[in-house]
Amino acid sequence: MHNETIRGSVVLEDNENIEILRGDPKKALLKLAIPMVFALLLISFNNIIDRIWVAGLGTDVLAAIGFVSPLFMIIVGIGSGLGAGSNSAISRFIGSKQKDNAQNSALHAILIVTIVSILIPLLVIPFFDDIIVYMGAGSVMNYAQDYGITILFGSFAFLFNLLFSCQLRAEGDMKKATFVMAAVEVLNMILDPIFIYMLKLGIKGAAIATIISSIIPTLVAVYWMFMKKNTYLNYDIRLFKYHSSYIKDILLVGIPASLEEFIISLVNIILNSMLVLVAGTNIIAAFNVSFIILQLGMMPCIAIGTSAITVAGVAYGAKEYDKVKTTCHYGIKISLIIASIITVLLIIFASQLSMLFTYNQPNNELHGLIVHVLQIVSVFLVVTPIGGICAMVFQAMGKGTISLLLTVIRELIFVVLLSYLFGIFFNYGVNGVLVGFIMGLIIGSAISLIVFEYFIKKLEKDNLTYSPT
């Protein structure tokens, strides 16, 4: 969005959060990331507890959620992508001290999410059965329908929750942003057993509990932003002035970021299909459970990378490119240290973690599969921070297309190609698929870092003039 297209830019007084964002990027990154790690850990614990409750309903139910999870992650990905687009736009406007543009951009993002939340169930539900069958879930179709269609009807709750959290984080208010995220998980832990067992709704109850748990904190955010108005940005709808440049600015990051999440979910679907082909449906339950556990280890990287969107965005808006580079390098360094420690712990305690999900199994087949998969794919944690944080810093700079291209190279080319090559073509089975998956991530992440280094050096050398588009 060119500055000349949006007039009347007013610079208003800053608060403490904004001053921190404009200061030392290392301190700003930690300030945003630490509380977010707490919220994300709650998400992971909730996912684990959710699967533990569902595991009591049987392996078929657990597998059904595994098949639906990629679709759910696409919805979450759309919300995260649009949230990232809004976060990036707001942060860059704050960095260039254009508060009124930041406010109007935030209101435009809400308009976009409103439209998307209506379209998702209208476009996906009619084709849900066909999608699930293609994924190989024919044997657990009834369970998949009960869970998946319910989730689709409640997708608006997830989208607005993610957007409001990102917008609060963009202005450095981590207390409110963390509450909006964390309260969802606390409520879900409480409501899960009530809806699944006490109300005897089974797998559908798990979906309903998830939706209600997202709605309540989102309404609290609405109260803060639109009624109490105790946020840095003013969300008064009367200030809304439509301009297509705001939409373009948000979508230039939001669409590629959403597509990245879609691609990752698509790759999970493809990997699921490969695993079913070489080992049957039990391996899907093991693969899904393993990644639920791995999410615990991913949280520091995700927290740091997501926080980097705000910190690097403010720095980029202020044309302080050295701070952009510092944000990326420091984020990768801290993430790798933490991820390495967690990876070792997961490998050591894989058997004990697997027992949480196989407590009602008459034999040890699923337990052994979970241990085997977890010990191989745990290396994923050490690889993820490099490509992930580079991608988010590109999003912060409004370069969503570059981030998307790197994700396509990493996921669709290297991960899928190598997983097929080792798992199917060379007939190494489950181990081949998993090893190909890890090798693809390693190569793709290395390429991402090389591209970032080239881009930031060129940016510093040319001293490019900032433009949100």
Q: What is the average pLDDT score of the chain?
A: 86
Confidence of residue 363 (pLDDT cuts 50, 70, 90): low
Cα three-residue angle 253-259-261, rounded to 5 degrees: 105
Cα–Cα dist 234/129, whole Å: 43
Residue 129 burial by CB count (10 A; 0-12/13-18/19+): exposed, middle or buried?
middle
Helix H or strand E encompassing 268: helix 244-279
Tokens 């912060």 found at: 396
466 DSSP assignment: P
Of 355, 352, 343, 350, which is closest to residue 371 (Cα–Cα)?
A: 350
Query: Could you tell me how far CA 297 lies from the centroid of its own chain?
Result: 14
pLDDT at 6 over 90: no
Identify whether the C-beta of residue 332 lies closer than 8 Å to the C-beta of residue 389.
Answer: yes
Mean pLDDT for 405-426 is 93
- Cα(383)–Cα(410) distance, rounded to whole angstroms? 12
Share of the chain above pLDDT 90, in %: 46
Q: What is the pLDDT of residues 136-194, one digit of tens each?
A: 767 778 888 888 899 999 999 999 999 999 999 999 888 899 899 889 988 988 998 99
CA 327 from chain centre, in angstroms, equals: 19
Which tokens hold the place of 389? 């944080």
* DSSP codes joined into one string, 405-416: HHHIIIIIIIIH
How far apart, in whole angstroms, are the C-alpha atoms of residue 220 and residue 224? 6
The residue type found at 368 is G
Using one digit for the tens of pLDDT, what is the confidence trace for 92-101? 999 988 999 9
Lowest mean pLDDT among 73-77, 304-308, 390-394: 73-77
Do 262 and 201 contact (CB within 8 A), yes or no?
no
**How far is 166 from 171, CA to CA, in rounded Å?**
9
Question: Residue 155 CA to chain centroid, in angstroms?
Answer: 15
What integer is the mean pLDDT of 31-49?
81
Query: Could you give the 3-state DSSP secondary structure of residue 6?
Result: coil
The pTM of the full predicted model, rounded to 2 decimals, is: 0.80
Could you give phi then psi for residue 172, rounded to 5 degrees? 80, 10
DSSP class of 240: -
DSSP-assigned states of every residue in 389-446? HHHHHHHHTT-HHHHHHHHIIIIIIIIHHHHHIIIIIS--HHHHHHHHHHHHHHHHHH
Residue type, 303: A
> Alpha helix locations (H) across 96-198?
99-124, 128-134, 141-153, 155-170, 174-193
- Please count the other Cβ atoms lying within 10 Å of the Cβ belonging to residue 82: 26
Has residue 468 got a pLDDT over 80? no
Q: Is 46 exposed, middle or buried (0-12, 13-18, 19+ CB in 10 A)?
A: buried
Contacts of 438 (CB under 8 A, 6+ apart): 376, 377, 379, 380, 383
Least confident of 74-88, 125-139, 152-166: 125-139
Confidence of residue 57 (pLDDT cuts 50, 70, 90): confident
Q: Rounded to the nearest 10 degrees, how much is the dihedral formed by the CA atoms of 457, 460, 464, 465?
A: 140
**Euclidean distance between CA atoms 167 and 58, whole angstroms:** 40
Which residue has tokens 């669409």?
255
